[in-house]
Chains A and B, each alone.
Chain A
Amino acid sequence: MAIRRGRGVAAINYPTGMNLGGDPTQALVHSTPTGNFMVTLSSVDLGQGMKQIMAQICAETIGVPTDRVIIDTADTDTGPHCMGTFASRGTHRAGNAVIQAAKEARQVMLEVAAEELEVDASDLETDGHGNIVVKGAPQKSISIFDVALSAHFKRGRSISGRGMFLIPRSYPDKETGAMKPSTCYAHACTLVEVEVDDETGEVTVLTVKNVFEIGRALNPKMVEQQLVGGSWMGISHALYETTEPYYPSRDHGGTDFNQYLMPGPGDLAETEIIVLERPSADGPFGAKGPGEMCANPQIPAVANAVFDAVGVRVDTLPITPERILRALKAKAAG
């Protein structure tokens, strides 16, 4: 019996947003009478934290703390259109729509504040803590609470804005395939170390070092959630998962979480995540979509590490102990 070690690398990129564009998202933002901000969308939070990120984007744009923003989403009676949550598009598309809507609302807010302070709106800025101050003269200020009250009850202004983001659809050329698939790409490089039991074909992933370039980490803790979970799913795809274990035979498909294999809490590799940020030209604060990309590079990295360990290629996913063992036996048989 021998436990053999190997390591493998893979590097990838991933497009942000629906391929070829043509996938709009809209947002509405309005202030409540006491200066809280309602963002109305029809985007869906699958657990990735879209609501929280939209709140932070709106807060940054308006110039208020995030806890002053409320997200009202995914009610088609109230929320304007969103193409949906897929293709790593949520943050990028909805985020841009929210920025546009929030900017418009902010402008009205500053105009009302300017009237109250009897200054020019262009001389005002937000302090990020709920106040609007005169640039260079911070003692002259008004709270956003008071601005909102004034707008509603005194000046008859609606502090609100509309946002829409659409990348026009690209149509591939029939002959050459010339097309614009995406406006920005996230990147990754992953190195994994594995141990392979050459008598059973069992693989243990020891370490995973992931470097992800994601444009901008809008909320680093939430980015970490996505990337750690994605890295796990990549390992899972590489070694465990399929609904048809004997594809193309349709037999023996798993019907539960015992039969559909995924790494358990006792199978976790030591995982390191490093994030780089090269802001995209058209992303909200430079953000790209890391949600899908983060689960891809582990798969080939594991495949390459298995080869490095035991000298056989398994070019069929998932790389099961059986496939490795068959390859080892074929190799031994010459």
Chain B
Amino acid sequence: MAKVPVQFTLNGSEKAEFIESGTTLLHALRDKIGDTSPKGGCHQGTCGACSVIIDGELKLCCLTLAETCNGADIRTTAGLAQGGVLHPLQRAFLDAFATQCGFCTPGMIMAAKVLLDRTPNPSREDVVEALSGNICRCTGYEPIIQAVLLAARANSQNAA
């Protein structure tokens, strides 16, 4: 089977792999590169568990072919903590008891991150909209919404 080269930056480090043409970014990240933080919950684009940030935009890596990401800057939840210190969103998810089974959590955190990067002081409606492509079956969403609002408050307090 024809292999094609892909090269991109994942959480700040250069990655280069030969993959089969037509491989999704989800499979490339999980099976080739070993970043299993994006989860394959549906492979349909309907659950959001594989959400990653590509060149600053939230994308679903189950519907993205890896070879279309050459040269891209890709961010995943696995790369969010810096030097062993959790990102404020990760901290807030812990403090708000916003994880149960945890399978949706990396995708939720990615969706929340692009929101807070652009809208540091979001309204509840902003958070609801930002999370609307991500399915959670355990929590009923409310703790996750609260966690994102908590992270936003923590950020604005740090900035003040």
| In contact, B139 and A225 (Cβ under 8 angstroms) | yes
A224 CB within 8 Å of chain B: yes
Q: B121-153 interface mask toward A, CB cutoff 8 Å, 1 = contact, 0 = none?
A: 000000111011001011111111100000000
Residue A176, interface by CB 8 Å: no
Inter-subunit contact A271/B142 (CB<8 Å): yes
B97 touches A231 (CB 8 A): no
* Residues of the A chain whose Cβ atoms lie less than 8 Å from the Cβ of B145: 265, 268
With A256-B44, A256-B46 in contact, do A265 and B102 touch (Cβ < 8 Å)? no
Check: A228 CB closer than 8 A to any chain B CB. yes
Map CB proximity to B onto A218-235 as digits: 1 under 8 Å, 0 otherwise. Answer: 000110110011111100
Q: What residue in chain A is nearest B101 (Cβ atoms)?
A: A47
In which size bucket is the chain B interface?
20 to 34
Q: How long is the Cα–Cα vector from A256 to B63 in the complex, in angstroms?
A: 15
A257–B132 touching, CB < 8 Å = no
| A228 contact set on B, CB distance < 8 A | 139-140, 142-143
The size of the chain A interface, using a CB distance under 8 A, is 23
Neighbouring A residues of B139 by C-beta, 8 Å = 225, 228-229, 232
Whether A266 sits at the interface, judged by CB under 8 Å, is: yes
Q: Does A204 contact B (CB under 8 A)?
A: no
Chain B: which residue is nearest A46 at the CB level?
A: B101
A279 CB-CB contact with B under 8 Å: no
Contact A229 B140 (CB under 8 A): yes
Kindly state the separation between the CA atoms of A60 and B140 in the bound complex, as whole angstroms.
30
Among residues of A, the one whose C-beta sits closest to the C-beta of B130 is: A265
Closest chain-A Cβ to B42's Cβ sits at a distance in Å of 6
> For residue B145, which residue of chain A has the nearest CB?
A265
B124 CB to nearest A CB, Å? 9
Give A contacts to B, CB under 8 Å: 46-49, 221-222, 224-225, 228-233, 256-258, 262, 264-266, 268, 271
